[in-house]
Amino acid sequence: MRHLTRRIGFYLVALWASATLNFLIPRLAPGDPARALLARMHGRISPAALHALEVQYGISHEPLYSQYWQYLTNLAHGDFGTSFANAEPVTNVIARDLPWTLALVGAALIISFLLGTILGVAVAWWRGSRLDTVLMPAFTFISAIPYFWFALALVFILGHSLNWFPSNGGYDIYSYTPGWDLGFFLSATQYAVLPAFTIVIGSIAGWMLGMRNTMITTLSEDYVLMAEAKGLSQWRIMITYAARNAILPNITSFALALGFVVSGSLLTEIVFNYPGIGYALVQGVQNKDYPLIQGLFLIITVAVLVANFLADLAYVVLDPRVRSERG
């Protein structure tokens, strides 16, 4: 699969680029913000971990290329450094918080993409109908609302005033402990409703409008006209002929917009004090916990790249032209 090999190659380049950015930013930043903070770590963590941090932040007399190499090697071994705040490895924080974000953002993204795509197909098919003329401006407006502000409004109305849904945290911490039991799972689901709703509402407009555009372009293709001439049912024309082709460019857009949506989702977590990566990130910012911020940036990048790759796989499954591409 030449196509997929090339994509994987590109993701490795992107990953390398983000790691290198991580390495360069502390060195290029004016002043030396890490040095003072690092000094506080003496005695709190092992000398090896301290050395790794010194390499990471350029507080070392070793030549630059050697620091760079050590940094990359550490990353490759899954060593993301030590968090300043709790003197625990960044990977621990990630292991604790990432599942929350993956579950919340992953589920919300899939729901919003599917719903947005279906809505886009519908408004393009019944173009000019009331559905179309109402949904289009409404979704244009929604697409311009900052996620976190929408989240704030939801917390205020549904969380505080009406008290319909919990709006603070990831589960009922007084009744459950995280684990594989139903009560915890239901509690977590209940707590995820509002943040997930925020992410769905925040991102659905983009998918819908994108799908509407490509769908309308596809509807004027000859093969759709021929499907109609064949006397096929409206559903068959709409789905197998029009939507099936129109979705392809949107899968690419989906992959490309992921970084943007993930960014919005992180802010959403912060509003809801949701125990995921986004919340950890803002805490890192508040504590000037550089290793944590950088480690989280890397893991978010990896997550986005993996999601991109999944989108590539979906594309390959759906488009026979890419499948048999040899060039």
Partner 1 sequence: MSNGVFRASALPLLEIKHVSVDYRAESGTVHALTDVSLTLERGQILGLAGESGSGKSTLGYAITRLLKPPAEITSGEALYYPRSARQGTLNGAAPEAVDVFKLTPGQLRALRWRELAIVFQSAMNALNPVIDIEAQITDVLRTHQPGLSGRAQRARAAELLRLVGIAPDRLHSFPHELSGGMRQRAIIAIALALGPELIIMDEPTTALDVVVQREILMQLIGLRNDLGFSVIFITHDLSLLLELADKVAIMYAGRVVEMATRDELKQHPRHPYSYGMLNSFPTIYGERRRMVGIPGAPPDLRAVPSGCSFHPRCPLAFAPCDRVLPMLRQPTAERPDLAVACHRYDPALSAAPLPSDEEFAASYAAAYQAEREGKGA
Partner 2 sequence: MASVASAATESGDELVVSGGRRGFWRAVTSNGKVMLGLIVVIFFTLLAIFGPFFVGSDVNAFGLDRSAPPSSAHLLGTTAYGQDVLAQVVVGARASVALGFSTGVIATIIAVIVGLVSGYVGGWLDEVLSVFSNVFLVLPALPLAIVLASFIPYKGPLIIGFVLIITGWSWGARVLRAQTLSMRNREFVTAAKSTGEPTSRIVFYEILPGMIAVVVAQLLGTIIYAILAEAGLEYLGLGDLRGVSWGTMLYWAGNQDALALGYWWWFVPPGLCIAVLGAALAFVNFGIDEIANPRLRTVRAEKRRTRGKAKEA
Query: Looking up tokens 């409206």, which residue turns up?
Result: 234
Binding string, residues 148-187; x marks residues near partner 2 by CB under 8 A? xx--xx-xx---x---------------------------
Site for partner 2 (CB under 8 A): which residue of 2, 146, 239, 323? 146
Spatial neighbors of 67 by CB under 8 A, at least 6 apart, are: 23, 55, 58, 60
Dihedral sign for Cα atoms in the order 186, 187, 190, 191: negative
Residue 153 contact, options partner 2, partner 1, none, Cβ 5-8 Å cut-off depending on partner type: partner 2
Q: Which one of partner 2, partner 1, none interacts with residue 288, CB within 5 to 8 A by kind? A: partner 2
Residue length of the chain: 327
E strand or H helix that includes residue 70: helix 64-76
User: What is the per-residue binding string for partner 2 in 121-140, x denoting contact by CB under 8 A?
Assistant: ----xxxxx--xx--xx--x
d(CA 271, CA 10): 34
- Give the residue with the Cβ less far from partner 2, 31 or 63: 31
133 is a site residue for partner 1 (CB under 8 A): no
Instruction: Identify whether the C-beta of residue 79 lies closer than 8 Å to the C-beta of residue 88.
Output: no
Using rule CB under 8 A, residue 225 touches partner 1: yes
Task: Answer whether 261's CB lies under 8 Å from 199's CB.
Answer: yes
The region of 28-36, 72-80, 135-143, 319-327 touching partner 1 under the rule CB under 8 A is 319-327
Identify what 233 binds: partner 1, partner 2, none; CB under 5 to 8 Å per kind.
partner 1
Name residue 83's amino acid: S
DSSP string, 243-309: IHHHHHHHHHHHHHHHHHHHHHHHHHHHHTT-SSHHHHHHHHHHTT-HHHHHHHHHHHHHHHHHHHH
Q: Closer CB to partner 1, residue 50 or residue 232?
A: 232
Which of 17, 35, 244, 285 lies at the binding interface for partner 1 (CB under 8 A)?
244
d(CA 139, CA 91): 39
285 CB neighbour count, 10 Å cutoff: 13
Percentages (nearest 5) of helix, strand, coil residues in the chain: 75, 0, 25
Does 6 participate in binding partner 1 (rule CB under 8 A)? no
**Site map (CB under 8 A) of partner 2, residues 94-123, x = contact:** ------------------------------
Q: In this chain, which stretch among 49-57, 61-69, 137-145, 220-228 interacts with partner 1, using CB under 8 A? A: 220-228
| Site for partner 2, residues 210 to 249, rule: CB under 8 A | 210, 213-214, 216-217, 219-220, 225, 234, 249
Q: Give 182-191's long-range contacts (Cβ < 8 A, gap of 24+).
A: 188/103, 190/165, 190/166, 191/165, 191/166, 191/274
The reply to whether 187 sits near partner 1 by the rule CB under 8 A is no
* Among partner 1, partner 2, none, partner that 245 touches (CB below 5 to 8 angstroms by kind): partner 1
Minimal distance, residue 322 CB to partner 1, in Å: 10
- Measured in degrees and rounded to the nearest 5, phi and psi for residue 204 equal -65, -35
Our finding on whether 320 is near partner 1 (CB under 8 A) is yes
**Residues lying near partner 1 in the complex (CB under 8 A):** 220-223, 225-233, 236, 240-241, 244-245, 248, 318-321, 324
